[in-house]
Amino acid sequence: MNKVEMKEAILEAKFEKGLKWADIANAAGMAPEFICSACLGMNHLEKPQADAVAKALGLGAEVSVALQRFPTKSWDKTIPTDPLIYRWYEMLNVYGETVKEMINEKFGDGIMSAIDFKMNIDRQPDPNGDRVLVTISGKFLPYKSW
């Protein structure tokens, strides 16, 4: 089973069972955001966690094996057309240089890791309409001179 087939099987089973990403993550003992990313094919899981995900979804060993394979991270489109994902591109286009400037001002010349990285997505109640709260934490990696 490849990552595309795995993703389709997982999403179908998740829908049929009425599970949330938090339910699946609890079964694996990991963060919902990371479990979701692995189930969508963009990260891998170790065998115990992959087995727990497959079991929670009622799926077979082939899904666990696919979850354990290292992903090839690629994107089909330059700018996705899904409105929610497109807005992230828009935010980076408008605020990307600002983020870079602020990180460089506070830390020096370097980058924020997307490997040593954590993300939490929460719902924040607001009387004017609930808000999406995304917290991103990545290790700072300074550029080195030699």
Contacts of 89 (CB under 8 A, 6+ apart): 79, 80
Annotation says 137 is catalytic: no
Q: Alpha carbon 89 to chain centroid distance?
A: 15
Q: Which of 8, 12, 16, 87 is catalytic?
A: 87
Annotation says 87 is catalytic: yes
The answer to whether 134 and 120 are in contact (CB under 8 A) is yes
How far apart CA 116 and CA 113 sit, in angstroms, is: 6
Annotation says 74 is catalytic: no
Q: Which of 101, 113, 131, 137 is catalytic?
A: 113
Q: Which of 90, 101, 131, 137 is catalytic?
A: 90
Active site residues: 87, 90, 113
